[in-house]
Structure 1
Amino acid sequence: MRIVSLLLLTIVIGTGCSSQKKPDMATTSIEYSAMSRGFYKKITVQNQTVWVENERGKDAVESKMDLAKWNQIVTEFEKINVETIATLKAPTEKRFYDGAAIGNLKIIQNQKTYETQGFDNGFPPKEIEKLVNLLVDFTEE
């Protein structure tokens, strides 16, 4: 009986720990885009590299980011449940009357794509706000 109990306990603990794995950030791609009739911005981050596109049809500018910035992005990303980002509610609706560009966050992880609904550029849902603001900082550098 003790052996069976010990075996079950080991299985339960092992299963619990395996569900808490950190995402593989080397293969995860995070993309933020914002666009309207006269505005375009696309920022893609993957494995300490960032690509910034500020104009449609132009090549993205690639650069390496420092480790501190990468760690901030990883920390904020780990707080997000990618399975639920499609259901996040936008806090404002300025994009409905051209008051703001339409923002969108897309995450490609393990060959699956997770994408938010459109939200106002500059006013992301609070659950992803810190991550989006870190990504937008690349266009200001």
Structure 2
Amino acid sequence: MRILSLLILTIVIGTGCSSQKKADMTTAQIEYSAMSRGYFKKIVVQNQTVSVTNGRDQQPVESKIDNAKWNKITAEFSKLNLDSLSALKAPTEKRFHDGAAIGNLKITQNQKTYETAGFDNGFPPKEIEKLVNLLVDFAKE
């Protein structure tokens, strides 16, 4: 009987934690920006909407994110360790000599901001690559 109770308790706690992560995504704001002297792009995702700005003096264009893409973003977001974002290392260094725009991922959740160090636009750190690619896809549409 104790084993059965322990098993049920473990399942209930495990399901509670996974639903908590999904709820956290609805309150989070994910911002990807890429900029250089002649290039500016900013993509902001929050609560199943996306805002894309394609120039410094341009107005953002907002649109709704379909459920399939939102589920992909949520899945990638749940894999992130937000506390380690600032320690991620960029795989390339083209941005040091104007070979690429400087990319940056910033996540705001529960009034706390987590931000990566700069990396080359198009070459994000491996840990955030899938999420960044999903965000950049919105600018291509």
- Structure 1: unaligned runs, 5 residues or longer: 1-8
Determine if the alignment matches structure 1 residue 22 to structure 2 residue 21.
yes
How far apart, CA to CA, are the structure 1 residues paired with 2:129 and 2:88? 11
SS in 2 for 1:78: helix
Matched residue, 2:140: 140
- Pairwise CA distance, 1:22: 1.1
Residue type of the partner of 2:111? Q
Bigger radius of gyration: 1
Matched residue, 1:99: 99
SS in 2 for 1:26: helix
Residue type of the partner of 2:89? K
SS in 1 for 2:74: helix
How far apart, CA to CA, are the structure 2 residues paired with 1:25 and 1:76? 11
Percent identity of equivalent pairs? 68
- Pairwise CA distance, 1:57: 2.4
What is the TM-score of this pair, normalised by structure 2?
Answer: 0.86
SS in 2 for 1:136: helix
Q: Alignment length, in residue pairs?
A: 133
- Pairwise CA distance, 1:37: 0.2
For residues 1-30 of structure 1, the C-alpha deviation after alignment (integer angstroms, 9 at most, x for no partner) is xxxxxxxx8xx969x757664151111000
How far apart, CA to CA, are the structure 1 residues paired with 2:97 and 2:109? 33
CA change 1:19–1:25 in 2 (3 A) is closer
- Structure 2: unaligned runs, 5 residues or longer: 1-5
Residue type of the partner of 1:78? S
Matched residue, 1:50: 50
How far apart, CA to CA, are the structure 2 residues paired with 1:132 and 1:101? 14
Matched residue, 2:90: 90
Aligned-residue Cα RMSD (Å) equals: 2.0
How far apart, CA to CA, are the structure 2 residues paired with 1:13 and 1:69? 31
